[in-house]
Amino acid sequence: MENQVQPENITNQLLNVFNYAFVESAPYSFFVPKKEKYVAVHVTKKIYTCLACTRQIEVKYHEAGVVYFSKDRFEKQRAVYEKKGLPFLDEKDLQAEKEFIYQETGYCEQCAPELLLTGDVKQKIYNICQEIHKEDEFLLVAAKVCMEEQLKKWLKTITNSSQLIQYDLSSYNGLKDLVCAAILDDTTGVEHCLISYKNKTEKMIADTEQLLRTMPAKWSIYAAKSTAIYESMSDEVYHEYTVVFPEKNTIPQDFFINRVIEKIRIEMFLKQNRIFSVEQLMLEAGFETAWLDLLIDHIATFEK
């Protein structure tokens, strides 16, 4: 639980690999955009349109001049505009840096669960991996709840100040050591969290590995992406020239877009090291300063 720098934060690494496999897969690269490969576009916002309910989500971008679209991405936008019957940018518009609205179609977070929970193996593999990812993220939350509950349980056994005489209560480190000792006094709750996590994820990983055996190297599915994170206008690389950022006040919403995923990246996500011990879990969960307040407030009741 100490705030030490770990050689590898397992949960953060799992998140990074999940994003690499299913969210933003373009690697970083430094380059100067060339006219034969990129188009300079003044993008001001993005509109997501749900294919099921037709609901639209508008996301304004932080403007910092033009952003560079790969020609493939630019032509994909042209096709979307033509399908919607909307006028597209011509050369004069590009030269004048006319404002452009990026159009995206897919499924909103309300419609996606019902429409995408199908028997299709391609989509099912993603759906299971997303559930594994949720379990990876939730584990630390559940562990912290158990750790706090144990601290509260221990505090109830302390009914007078004489029980704390042997402890150093005059310094931050002394108080922190006492809180850690109280939590470590009974780790049953954290153990149950870990057992439940292992049982769920090990089965889902085994099921997904079985499904992957007959899959090709690449295929298309609908995958969730937050409307509040950056996006590269190139499928190949990302760089300051190609990236757009939503405004800071953007409310995050998951929107499911069609994208290509790779078998090798999914296998990488499944084979990542995961938390396997209570000690490891508690180190990953870390220490909450709010726990010090619980201790201090409890001690203060003896002085009244």
Domain residue limits, the chain = 25-118+224-258
Sign of the C-alpha dihedral, residues 27, 32, 38, 44? positive
- Cβ distance 234 to 70 under 8 Å? yes
Query: Two tokens at 39?
Result: 């188009």
Task: Classify 119 as helix, strand or coil.
Answer: coil
pLDDT tens by residue, 250-292:
999 999 999 999 999 999 999 999 999 999 999 999 999 999 9
- The crossing angle, in degrees rounded to 10, of helices 278-285 and 188-212 is 100
pLDDT at 25: 59
Please list, in sequence order, all residues whose beta carbon lies within 8 angstroms of the beta carbon of residue 11, skipping any fewer than 6 positions away. Answer: 136, 137, 139, 140, 275, 284
CA dihedral 224, 230, 232, 236 (to 10 degrees): -60
- Mean predicted lDDT score pLDDT of the chain: 91
The pLDDT of residue 260: 92
CB 19 within 8 A of CB 272: no
Cβ distance 238 to 30 under 8 Å? no
Cβ-based neighbours of 88, under 8 Å, separated by 6 or more: 77, 78, 81, 82
pTM exceeding 0.75: yes
H or E segment at 105?
Answer: strand 99-108
Q: 80 to each of 87, 179, 184, how far by Cα in Å?
A: 11, 57, 57
Q: What is the mean pLDDT of residues 94-100?
A: 94
pLDDT at res. 5: 39
pLDDT of residue 7: 41
- For 57, residues 6+ apart whose C-beta sits below 8 A from its C-beta are 47, 48, 108, 227, 253, 255
The percent of residues above 90 in pLDDT, for the chain, comes to 77
How far apart CA 230 and CA 67 sit, in angstroms, is 13
Residue 96 DSSP label: T
pLDDT for 240 equals: 79
CB 254 within 8 A of CB 142: no
